[in-house]
Structure 1
């Protein structure tokens, strides 16, 4: 199998411009946005888009993969932190901030994700489960909290803020604090429903 050659500096720059422009266009206008609009926003010729991403699905998959890899690398670095509870909170803070900046919540609607997307998501889920297990073992999380619970809550601060008019840019931090307090063992009451199946 032939090794993949690294992108030239200008090609790598164009690819990043396209990913940023596409994520912004999709977030603002949905999946029906045209490749021409994405190219215009990126300041790149339409043909350059197709050289990097032959289809719109390829472009969507690339956005997902880049975002998931970045979050996973943050989590993996935090797995060695001595304070597991603080490490999990730092990860969730980074995730909420980055998801807000890139506004990738629209990607949950992508159908038939590519194999690379599924693989990178599974790597992220495994990292989150490991962070949660460490925090729970150290007594920083209530014993009935699972990694899947935290995966489900990861985007919640931004979802809450989007429903509020005239929200300040950092309001998501308030709701992340409320969520994380709910994960702590202090003052916890039994949950009224069992956890979902693992992701």
Structure 2
């Protein structure tokens, strides 16, 4: 039997019921770690994360065996939130507005929380891979609804949008000191490119998701 990797164990542990105080500590650690990673990237120390969360360093290791496991848990929480967002917006009456809201909110979350530094390609078959697949599948349904309504180009797929949703944040990262809201400009550029009359369909085939 293949042993479970520590990072994947941290994601699975999130689904298990915790005592109220342990659950509060875990949430405080995740929030503090997001803030430290946003400020320092993955060089953020466990000691600084514990200090920001107001807990002892040992408490961090009781919940997360390694810094990698902590980063993976943050990425997993982010994926779950995006899945819930896409699912909610799929029920909205205006599919065009819903898709724009999803792209804007997804990019805004990455910009505010800098989860982008944690969103590495997960190991095949891992819990994080399953959660990212859930996001992808919900985005596919959201885009299918928009395409069926004629508000996005017929050649645009859910995988296209899934791959593009981080692009506004990555784009402004090329600048040394970008204006805080510049990422919104690139959400608009991307969304305009999805519209039916804005461009000719691309000749090469759409990508597939693993």
How does the TM-score come out when normalised to structure 1? 0.89
CA distance in 2, matches of 1:194, 1:114: 26
2:31 aligned with 1:20: yes
Distance 1:31 1:166, change over 3 A: closer
Listed as ranges, the matches of 1:90-101 within 5 Å are 90-101=101-112
Please say if residues 157 and 176 of structure 1, whose CA atoms lie closer than 8 Å, have aligned partners that are also in contact: yes
Cα distance in 1, alignment partners of residues 23 and 127 from structure 2: 19
Among candidates 52, 68, 73, match of residue 62 of structure 1: 73
SS, match of residue 31 in structure 1: helix
What root-mean-square deviation, in Å, do the aligned CA atoms of Structure 1 and Structure 2 show? 2.0
Would the aligned equivalents of 2:168 and 2:187 in 1 still touch at CA under 8 Å?
yes
How big is the shift at 1:114?
7.4
Q: Does the 8 Å contact 2:37/2:114 carry over to 1?
A: no
Count of residue pairs the alignment pairs up: 196
Task: Write out per-residue CA displacement over residues 91-113 of structure 1, whole angstroms, 9 at most, x where no aligned residue.
Answer: 11111111111101111336637
Give the distance between the partners of 1:192 and 1:115, measured in 2 at CA.
34
Residue of structure 2 in register with 1:108 after alignment:
119
2:83 pairs, out of 49, 72, 77, with: 72
Return 5+ residue gaps in structure 2 as ranges.
Answer: 1-14
Find the aligned partners of 1:171 and 1:184 in 2 and give their Cα distance.
Answer: 21
Contact 2:106/2:165 (CA < 8 Å) preserved in 1?
yes
Query: What is the CA deviation profile of residues 44-68 of structure 1, one whole-angstrom value per residue up to 9, with x for unaligned ones?
Result: 1011011111232321221111111
Asked whether the equivalents of residues 85 and 135 of structure 1 are also in contact (C-alpha less than 8 Å), the reply is: yes
Contact 2:172–2:182 at 8 Å: present in 1 too?
yes
Partner SS, residue 119 of structure 2: helix
The answer to whether the 8 Å contact 1:79/1:87 transfers is yes
Tell me the TM-score normalised to structure 2 length: 0.84
